[in-house]
Structure formats: structure tokens, C-alpha cells
Amino acid sequence: MSLRIGSSVSALVSQRNLGNSHNDVQDSMRAISSGSRVSRASDDPASFAISESMKGQLAGTRQASFNAQNAQSMVQTAEGGLNQQNNILIRLRELAVQGASDTLGDKERELIDVEFQQLTGELNRIAKSTRFGQKNLLSGENETYEFQVGPNGTENDVISFNLDADTSSDNLEIDSLDVREQGGAIDALEGIDSAMEKISGVRAKFGAFQSRLNYTMDNLGSQAESIETARSNLADVDVAAEMTRLTQSQIKQDLSTAMLAMSNQSSQRVLSLLG
């Protein structure tokens, strides 16, 4: 066997293998600590590009779901006002039925009419003051709102809703009603019933839109789940598999270190010839 001190091929081989094992250990530790299999583009260029694109799509889908929730909150705000207006109309009808009876005199009807007019005013105030942010909901603004409920910019990612609800006392035609007289109380019943029908129609429109939003949010939630699953399969690290690779790399690293030491020691044998 020849012995050389100018070049130690075995040491160079051990050093190269040690470097490779060190890099493998570093890659495994980075993957496990970050939880990502492709924390750098160089780890897997194709998977990295696809996973980053999915991140953007996932963020857009989640924001779209948030937009739908806000739209639903707007509808619920309007529904709260409509519910109180409906309760007021029920009370107005009760007062009108009471005033239509001959068991009451004119003075009693005047007292009933005080409450009747106050409640009519409150119904009108609710219509004018029910707002969501800066948007009037029940005063007949007749605006079309567009809600971005998708992650993309197509027309299929937008839901439009025409808000034309006007539940003011004037539009419901109850602002001129009174129960000061028996005939007026009887006439008020018909007007109040008509107003209640209009309120019911408005509530039905809001309810239908709210039902649509419920399905929209369910669909967005399902989409987000599927996208996250696909992204996870591409980018997230399999801890069990990576721990196995880390252990293998550490064993190779230890063995390469030992072999490098032995290779360096072999050069010392030349000294025995000089002895």
C-alpha cells in the first residue's frame, strides 16, 4: 500500500461526505423548526410556487367570507329595526281596536291617541335612523350594493343587492291616522294592516338575501378548507418522515467525522518509516 502526504484522497472523500451530511442535517432541522417542507424556493421550486399562489387564494377566500359576514350583519341590523316597527304596528292596531269600541268616550280616545301618535313618530324615527356605518337601511335610499364574496375579480365573485326599503310612516301611509274618533279608529285598522303587509314584504326580501349569504359563507368555508388541505400537502413538513431523515443524516455526519479523523491519522504513519 502506498502512503502519501501531499494528497489524502480518503480525507477529501470523508470531508465531502461530511459536508453533505451537515447540509442534510441543516435542511431537516430548518424544515422541522419552521413546519414547512419548502421554506425556500430552492427546496422544491414547483411546490414553492404553487403553495405561494395558494396562500394568496386562501387569504382572498377568507377575506371574501369576512365580507359576506359583514353583509349579513348589515341585513341583521335592518331586520332589528323592522322587527321593532312591526311590534309598533301591532300595538297601534291594538289601540285602534280599543278606540273603535263604544265602551270608550271621546276623551278616552284622545288619551289613546296620544300614545298612538307617539308610536307613529317612533316608527318613523326608526326608519330614518337605522344605519349600518354610513348607510341608511330603511329610509328608501334605493341604492344597489355590491359585495365581494369571492377571491377573484370576476362577476361571479360579486353579489348585488338593491336596497330600496322605505318603512317611514309616510311611505307606509300611517302618518295621517288617528284614533280620536270611533270612525277614525276603524279606518286606522285597514291602514295598519296594509302597513304590516309592506313591512312583511321588506322583511321577506331581507330574509331571502340573508339566506343566500348563509349558503355563500358555507361555500367559502368549504373552499378555504380544501385550499388549505392542498397547500398543506405541498408545503407542510411530515415531521415523522423528516425526523427519520434527520436521524439518518446525523448518523452519517458522525460516521464521516470519524472517517475524516482516521484519514488524517493515516498520514501520521509516514513518520514510522522515518523511525
Q: What is the pLDDT of residue 168?
A: 96
Does residue 51 lie within any of the structural domains? no
**What does the pLDDT read at residue 171?**
95
pLDDT at 207 over 90: yes
Contact predicate 11/259, CB 8 Å: no
Does residue 173 sit in the same domain as residue 267? no
Decide: 149 and 219 in contact? Cβ < 8 Å.
Answer: no
Residues 119 and 255 in one domain: no
pLDDT in tens, 63-75: 999 999 999 999 9
Identify the pLDDT of residue 73.
95
Residue-wise pLDDT tens digits, 79-98? 999 999 999 999 999 999 99
Give the separation between CA 229 and CA 178, rounded to whole angstroms.
Answer: 64
Same domain, 229 and 247: no
Coil vs helix vs strand at 147 = strand
Smallest Cα–Cα separation from 137: which of 73, 86, 88? 73
pLDDT value of residue 174: 96
Phi, psi values for residue 15, rounded to 5°: -65, -40
Q: Which domain holds residue 270?
A: 9-35+237-274
Average pLDDT of span 131-150: 93
End-to-end CA distance of the chain: 18
- Look at residues 84, 74, 214 and name the one whose alpha carbon lies nearest to residue 145: 74
Q: Clarify whether residues 92 and 118 are in a common domain.
A: yes
* Residues 6+ away with beta carbon under 8 Å from 219: none
111 and 21 assigned to the same domain: no
Rounded-to-integer distance, Cα 212 and Cα 34, Å:
40
Task: Please name the residue that has the C-alpha cell 502506498.
Answer: 2
Q: Any idea what the CATH number is for the domain that residue 217 is in?
A: 1.20.1330.10
Same domain, 262 and 137: no
Mean pLDDT of the chain: 85
Distance CA 207, CA 109 (A): 37
64 and 29 in a single domain? The answer is no
Neighbours of 34 (CB within 10 A): 13
In sequence order, which ranges of the chain are alpha helices (DSSP H)? 9-34, 45-99, 106-129, 182-235, 239-267, 270-274
CA 70 to each of CA 76, 135, 221, 248, 267: distance values in angstroms, whole numbers, following the listed order: 10, 13, 15, 52, 76
Instruction: State how many domains the chain has.
Output: 2
Contact 138, 126 (CB under 8 A): yes
Least confident among 1-15, 120-134, 236-250, 251-265? 1-15
Residue with cell 326580501: 205
Same domain as 21, residue 137: no
Quick check: is 49 in a domain? Answer: no
